[in-house]
Structure 1
Amino acid sequence: MIQHQFAERVAGIVGEDASVVGLAAAGSWLSNELDEYSDLDLLLVTRNKVGGDKQRMMAYAEKFGKLLSAFTGEHVGEPRLLICLYDDPLLHVDIKFVTLEEFAFRVEEPVILYDAFGQLEQSLQVTEAEWPNPGYQWIEDRFWVWIHYGLTKVGRGEYFEAIDFLSSIRNMVLGPMLLISQGQLPRGVRKLEKHLPEQTLEQLKGTLALHDRGSLLKAIHKCVELYRDLRSNLYDSDIKWQTGTEKKVLEYYDEIAELPENIIH
């Protein structure tokens, strides 16, 4: 695999760099799911803090191969991340720059590729990974407000906005909850096609919509149906259901469904 070959080359390069404590791989590497379309997720552990300093991050990345382009990950809330595209071979590589102290705080157990003094292995032995599962109360407190928002976009005729809204609901709510229901980590909509039973996957397809009022309303209704089913199966008695808000929003759905089509010109 080109990802393994690239990682081995990087491990050899950083092994000669006294500023580097270690190198580890994460992402698809951990589940043995790497294929020709996979990117490569690397954790580069340095003695002194590099993450957040783009110039220094770029200097490291340029040593590892023919770097075509790279940018930092502020858009995903991670300035320590450098998102790279290399050539020969063409490969997407995400490099996260952390110190040894930061390495301990992780969401999954990485595979160590280079460990100068055994410090990465020691860190993994005395600390635990913790995946940030979505808070069910957090979701319930927001879901019906979000549905109302989507309905206002349909009512106003902002169909592209409504389509984006549906994508957000799948990423933030339905995808994670569906993955949890299948015993998987709540990674948005990652590999749902692989993990969901065919019947459930068909239900989720119902949340896809065309640039059409009727299609959008049908998709929003399917989101509500799916959420209610998942809520019943996953939430325990400690979660307070927002039944009052739910009732009002569903009444609003009926109001929007009865309006004539309203396309903005």
Structure 2
Amino acid sequence: MKLPVHEQFVKQAIRYVSQDHRFTGLLAGGSMIRSTMDEFSDLDLIVVYHSELRSKIMNQRFKIAEEMGDLLSAFTGEHVGEPRLLICLYGPAPLHVDLKFVQQEELISRIENPLILWERGSDISTILSESTPSFPYPDPQWMEDRFWVWVHYGAVKLGRGELFEIIDLITFMRSAVLGPLALIRSGHLPQGVRKLETYTSAEVISELKGTIPIHSFESCYRALKNTIKLYQNLRDVQKIVPKKEAERVSTEYLDGVFASQTLQD
């Protein structure tokens, strides 16, 4: 598939960094590595610079982004735990580009092997060949320790009638727990709920659909119950210390909240 907007931006970016001696390389991650890009893909680019220029580069990121193309808007990535990241929207044809600014030494610690689009010399190639990427997998015990507290929290919000709050909670549980576990079981990287429709079975997709509520008391209750059931099916009890009493207490409390409301109606 030809992707003229993406290809043109990559050419512009290579031309820009190669003419500026502050930079030592331009790398690509994400779908460009896996050759799975389509017209809806964003660009994940890594701008590599000399370490002694860190302060200047970090202060000038927006200016650098502006000089790469028609920058419409941009913001930094602290909300995803990555302050080195600049999340950009370019025009005139809209294109999402993530620009991550890193020092050469920081490439040793990475989640994937990036594609080298351009480099000055061979230092980047050497670093990548002599180190190994490591993708962060979620801790099953971290999930188990929190899951039943979240269930109780959802039950409380259900009892108060704060349905928007419980809808957001279930969405978070799907992204932080159910999605990653389903992807791991399917042999794929645990990237939230990304590409679940592609990588997981029709049965799991059907079960996940049951965790999506509408703004009603009963729908939120059923969705949270389905969330519990799917988590119980996906978790690996051999790798965790199950919080059995927390599971029992929180689930019974949720059922009690639903039953009491039903009786009132």
TM range (shorter): over 0.9
SS in 1 for 2:128: helix
State the match for 2:162 in structure 1. 158
Quick one: which of 119, 123, 133 aligns to 1:119?
123
CA shift, 1:4, in A, is: 2.8
Query: 1:91-130 counterparts in 2 under 5 A?
Result: 91-130=95-134
State the match for 2:250 in structure 1. 249
What is the CA–CA distance in structure 1 between the aligned matches of 2:13 and 2:57, rounded to whole Å? 20
Identity of aligned residues (%): 43
What is the CA–CA distance in structure 1 between the aligned matches of 2:237 and 2:210, rounded to whole Å? 23
Q: Which amino acid aligns with 2:17?
A: V
Do the aligned residues in 2 keep the contact of 1:51 with 1:96 (CA within 8 Å)? no
Q: CA RMSD in A?
A: 1.5
What is the CA–CA distance in structure 2 between the aligned matches of 1:191 and 1:244, rounded to whole Å? 34
How far does the alpha carbon of each residue in 1:67-94 deviate from its partner, in whole angstroms, 9 at most, with x for none?
1111111111211111111113321101
CA shift, 1:181, in A, is: 0.6
What is the CA–CA distance in structure 1 between the aligned matches of 2:257 and 2:33, rounded to whole Å? 46
State the match for 1:223 in structure 2. 227
CA shift, 1:52, in A, is: 9.3
Query: 1:134-173 counterparts in 2 under 5 A?
Result: 134-173=138-177
CA shift, 1:26, in A, is: 0.7
List gaps (5 residues or longer) in structure 1.
none
Quick one: which of 184, 190, 210 aligns to 1:186?
190
Compared CA separation, residues 160 and 51, structure 1 to 2 (3 A): farther
What is the CA–CA distance in structure 2 between the aligned matches of 1:83 and 1:126, rounded to whole Å? 29
Q: Normalising by structure 2, what TM-score?
A: 0.93
State the match for 2:80 in structure 1. 76
Query: 1:39-78 counterparts in 2 under 5 A?
Result: 39-48=42-51, 49-50=53-54, 55-78=59-82
How far does the alpha carbon of each residue in 1:135-193 deviate from its partner, in whole angstroms, 9 at most, with x for none?
01111111111111111111110000000001000110000000001000000000111
State the match for 1:198 in structure 2. 202
Quick one: which of 60, 75, 93 aligns to 1:89?
93
Aligned residues: 258
- Structure 1 range deviating more: 23-32 or 53-62: 53-62
How far does the alpha carbon of each residue in 1:204-229 deviate from its partner, in whole angstroms, 9 at most, with x for none?
00000000010001000101110011
What is the CA–CA distance in structure 2 between the aligned matches of 1:52 and 1:199, rounded to whole Å? 52
CA shift, 1:8, in A, is: 2.2
Do the aligned residues in 2 keep the contact of 1:26 with 1:42 (CA within 8 Å)? yes
State the match for 1:207 in structure 2. 211
CA shift, 1:109, in A, is: 1.2
The structure where helix makes up a greater share of residues is 2
Compared CA separation, residues 193 and 141, structure 1 to 2 (3 A): same
CA shift, 1:51, in A, is: 7.4
Do the aligned residues in 2 keep the contact of 1:42 with 1:96 (CA within 8 Å)? yes
State the match for 2:9 in structure 1. 6
CA shift, 1:200, in A, is: 1.2
What is the CA–CA distance in structure 2 between the aligned matches of 1:84 and 1:8, rounded to whole Å? 17
CA shift, 1:50, in A, is: 3.9
